[in-house]
Amino acid sequence: MKCFVFAVCCVAATIAMPFDVVEDVDGEQYYVIPISRQKRQTNWGISNSGFGGSHRGTLYNNDRHRLDGTASAFKNFGSHGFRPDQVGGRLDYNHKPSGSSAFAGANNVRGWGTDVAAGGRYNIHQGKNYGVDLTGQYGRHFGGPGGTGRPEAGVFLNAHGRF
């Protein structure tokens, strides 16, 4: 399931990117991918139960699309070995002109299983004083002592206004 979510996110990011094709004097064609430096942020912390951190950054950003990624790891005090007890990641996509967005993420806790979630928001109408959007979300727990759980999903119509 993790590989499927990762593959879907990679395909979506690839489709969303605008590629230019250039040709050299020998007739060889190349894809030109714009690369720019983006803001990255790393946070580390220690609490009474353990230590860990996360790294967040913008993977792609232009005037129409934005893709952000987050990775995190946490290690409990008292557990043996160097492997993290909790690892996770998330991708967030935003289509700037429409205000629509999507996300996919997974979080694994050693011994308790993996939580997977994906969702999206489609902006139906956005006015100066009100807006309407359609939101959908899916989540499921895999593995652990309780086994694989039932999928949880929902679709919602949201309206908001300023009076």
95-144 pLDDT, tens digit per residue, is 998 889 999 999 998 888 999 999 999 999 888 889 899 999 999 999 98
Are 122 and 100 a contacting pair, CB within 8 Å?
A: yes
At residue 31, the pLDDT reads 61
Mean pLDDT of 84-100: 90
Q: Comparing 12-16, 17-21, 45-49, which segment has the lowest mean pLDDT?
A: 12-16
Are 129 and 103 a contacting pair, CB within 8 Å?
A: no
Cα→Cα distances 114→1, 2, 118, Å: 10, 9, 13
Question: In this structure, is residue 23 part of a structural domain?
Answer: no
Are 96 and 64 a contacting pair, CB within 8 Å?
A: yes
Question: In this structure, is residue 31 part of a structural domain?
Answer: no
Q: Which of 62, 68, 64, 114 has the alpha carbon at shortest distance from 88? A: 114
At residue 33, the pLDDT reads 60
pTM reported for the whole predicted model: 0.68
Question: In this structure, is residue 7 part of a structural domain?
Answer: yes
At residue 27, the pLDDT reads 77
Strand partners, 48: none
Domains contained in the chain, number: 1
Question: In this structure, is residue 96 part of a structural domain?
Answer: yes
Are 30 and 22 a contacting pair, CB within 8 Å?
A: yes
Tokens of 90: 């998330």
Question: In this structure, is residue 32 part of a structural domain?
Answer: no
Question: In this structure, is residue 137 part of a structural domain?
Answer: yes
Question: In this structure, is residue 27 part of a structural domain?
Answer: no
Distance between CA atoms of residues 98 and 66, nearest Å: 12
Question: In this structure, is residue 41 part of a structural domain?
Answer: yes
pLDDT band of 89, cuts 50, 70, 90? very high
The whole domain housing 133 covers: 2-16+37-161
